[in-house]
Structure 1
Amino acid sequence: MHPEQIKAALRMKGISPTALASEMCVANSSVSQVISGRAVSARIRQRIAEITGMPVDMLWPPVNERHALHSTRPEGADARIARGAS
């Protein structure tokens, strides 16, 4: 899930990332980095999942699924055409 969608889901439940950081006694940057996927904290991820009511794997899909969801690289014949090959 995109970080902005995670933040929006938190806001819909009435909590901001800053408030979550305060509740968990962690730095704001820790929550921000977990939301953006730049850092991993099972404790912070689990709390966000509890608040939003969404499974952790839905909020942060495994790397291979994220790549598949966000990949714009064409496959097969389309890839050869895109690269200018015949």
Structure 2
Amino acid sequence: MHPEEIKASMRMKGITPTALADELGVANSSVSQVISGRATSARIAGRIAQIIGKPVPVIWPPKTAPVLRRMKPSAEVAT
């Protein structure tokens, strides 16, 4: 989900990111970073998921590793 969708869903359930930070005893910036996906915290993410009623992987889908492809060796240059 987009961070704005997460915040809007939280507000619709009657809790702001600041109120969540107070509830959990963490800094506002910690909640903000988790919402935006810049940081991870199972406790914060779990509480957000509980509030908005969606599983954590739906809110923050797992990041897939890029597919690395082996390049064909270039023709050797005679020196």
By the TM > 0.5 criterion, same fold? yes
Q: After TM superposition, give the deviation of residue 5 of structure 1 in Å.
A: 0.4
State the 4+ residue runs in structure 1 displaced beyond 2 angstroms: none
Q: Which has the larger radius of gyration?
A: 2
Structure 2: gaps (5+ residues)? 67-79
Normalising by structure 1, report the TM-score: 0.74
Normalising by structure 2, report the TM-score: 0.80
Match of 2:60 in 1: 60
Aligned residues: 65
Structure (1 or 2) with the greater helix fraction: 1
Match of 1:73 in 2: none
CA distance in 2 between partners of 1:42 and 1:19 (Å): 18
Structure 1: gaps (5+ residues)? 68-86
Query: What is the root-mean-square deviation in Å for CA atoms of aligned residues?
Result: 1.1
Specify the SS of the correspondent of 1:63: coil
